[in-house]
Amino acid sequence: MAIEQLREELNKTIAEIKDYLKDKDTLKAEVQESINKATEELTKRIEALEKEVQAVKAERQTPAVSEAIAKDLPKGEDLLDSESEEVKSIHRVNDSLRLVYDLFGSRVYEKVFSQFQKIYPTEIAVLKDALGTTSAGDAFVPVGYSRTLFEEVMLKLRVAQLHERFAMPHGVVKFPVVYQDQEAYYIPENVDESAVTSPIPHSRPTTGNIEFRAKKLASRTRVSAELEEDSIIPMLPLVKNQITDAIARAIENAIINGDVDGTLDADNTEANDPRRAFNGYRKIAIDEAKIDASGSLTVGKLTALQGAMDKYGIYPEDVAYIVSPKVFTKHLLTLKDEAGNQVVLTHDKLGSKATILTGQLGQVFGIPIIVSQYVRQDLNASGVYDGTTTGYSIILLVHKRSFLIGYRRELKVVQSFRADLDQRETVATVRIAFGCLFPSHPVVGILYNIPV
């Protein structure tokens, strides 16, 4: 029970008893004793609660606690780059403060900062100690955003999480690839040197380079300058979600439907379409790895898709199905083998020990099924968008280790004020690359002509 409620209860009880005693003089002594006991008991409870509240405040605000936390944390930019779970809450405070400053400027930031300092005293103390900052009045301003904000983007991805990521030291990186391994040979024992006619055969692996070129993806958010300061803190999660969602959607769309020259789908006509950033699964897939479903989905066609990918499609742990919502609900959930058994295992059947990928809604033959809204459901029977026939979708089977995602810059947020609109504008950008290590191999399979 809150302290104020206890005080109100005590005052109410005393008032009721006094009213009762107006015509009951003979009971005054006995009732007064009861009042004293009740007052004493309630006062003790209030004092105990006040001590607990003060202890919590002291623990949150004592410099020794902040110092104890800070001494084990990395300093400067390393703090923002740290992936330690211990600093995630500090990252979120840092990013929220920086976002307020970028969105609303120094005047509003000073007022919001004072509220943050009351709510997160320990986190603020650690940030002050660990980071170089600029000032805005009595408040300090974080120098930038943490790695956690970029990780929030990555956690929202379904398909991109299938592939490994690497940091790009430059805007263009050439990645060495071995296309054909070096061979080993059987050599019989040489019992007579004079009989040796040839040495061990010479073998050289076939190698090459795959170029990863970082491309910029950006989103823009506008917020009214008339927004009340008291409304800023509650709306921060919404603003951050808008930024991270927009970037995540662009990455996911480009990985699946990316087409640099715009010849795959008829609606890829704008130069700033995220699909123009790099070639995705559908563009990379070679003709030999495409299977016509002929208007229906069967177990045999799924296995045929695996077969078309040759060595890249045979091991369940190396591949993943990527499907549209309608294909999953209309076809896969009802798919049965010749004996009438359902072949897709959903979460309830996989068990608690199963490894579940982000976006995975089931598995078939041990292969995870990832459902993505960016697998198109408006294609023609050939698996492309022509704007006329729009009643078909596809199933993608992807060899996970044949693709890499590079990032040159994780996430940058800048702001400006639009006087003509009386709005603050925030632009978030990432520089990212996506590439296939074996573009001429069947590392992506497509099952097309599936009605939805």
Please say whether the structural domain 215-451 has been given the CATH code 3.30.810. no
The torsion of the CA quartet 89, 93, 95, 96, rounded to 10 degrees, works out to 130
The structure tokens listed for 399 are 């060899």
Task: Write down the pLDDT at residue 67.
Answer: 46
The structure tokens listed for 165 are 């990521």
Task: Write down the pLDDT at residue 62.
Answer: 43
Q: Quote the CA–CA distance of 181 and 203 in Å, as a whole number.
A: 9
Of the candidates 439, 429, 7, 419, the residue with the CA atom closest to the CA atom of residue 211: 439
Contact between 46 and 3 (Cβ < 8 Å) = yes
**Amino acid code (one letter) for 175:** F
For the chain, 452 residues long, the average pLDDT of each consecutive 10-residue run is 67 71 60 68 69 57 42 48 61 76 70 77 71 50 64 73 87 72 68 61 66 88 62 65 83 95 94 95 95 95 95 93 94 90 82 63 90 94 95 96 86 74 78 91 96 95
Report how far apart, in Å, the C-alpha atoms of 329 and of each of 292, 323, 324, 374, 418 are: 20, 10, 9, 15, 46
Task: Write down the pLDDT at residue 166.
Answer: 87
Q: Quote the CA–CA distance of 117 and 113 in Å, as a whole number.
A: 6
Q: Which residues pair with 399 in a beta bridge?
A: 319
pTM of structure: 0.67
Task: Write down the pLDDT at residue 75.
Answer: 47
Task: Write down the pLDDT at residue 65.
Answer: 35
The torsion of the CA quartet 60, 140, 128, 414, rounded to 10 degrees, works out to 110
Task: Write down the pLDDT at residue 443.
Answer: 96
Phi-psi category of residue 294: left, alpha or beta, with phi > 0 → left and psi -120 to 50 → alpha: left
What is the chain's alpha carbon radius of gyration, rounded to the nearest angstrom?
32
Contact between 109 and 141 (Cβ < 8 Å) = yes
Of the candidates 106, 377, 188, the residue with the CA atom closest to the CA atom of residue 98: 106
Task: Write down the pLDDT at residue 269.
Answer: 94
Contact between 328 and 394 (Cβ < 8 Å) = no
Q: Quote the CA–CA distance of 385 and 396 in Å, as a whole number.
A: 16
3-state per-residue secondary structure call for the chain? CCHHHHHHHHHHHHHHHHHHHCCCHHHHHHHHHHHHHHHHHHHHHHHHHHHHHHHHHHHHHCHHHHHHHHCCCCCCHHHHHCCCHHHHHHHHHHHHHHHHHHHHHHHHHHHHHHHHHHHCHHHHHHHHHHCCCEEECCEEECCCCCHHHHHHHHHCCCCHHHCEEEECCCCEEEEEEEEECCCCCCCCCCCCHHHCCCCCCCCCCEEEEEEEECEEEEEEEEEECCCCHHHHHHHHHHHHHHHHHHHHHHHHHHHHHCCCCCCCCCCCCCCCCHHHCCCCHHHHCCHHHEEECCCCCCHHHHHHHHHHCHHHCCCHHHEEEEECHHHHHHHHCCCECCCCCECEEEHHHHCCCCCCCCCEEEEECCEEEEECCCCCCCECCCCCCCCCCCCEEEEEEEEHHHEEEEEEEEEEEEEEEECCCCEEEEEEEEEEEEEECCCCCCCEEEEEEEEC
Task: Write down the pLDDT at residue 264.
Answer: 94
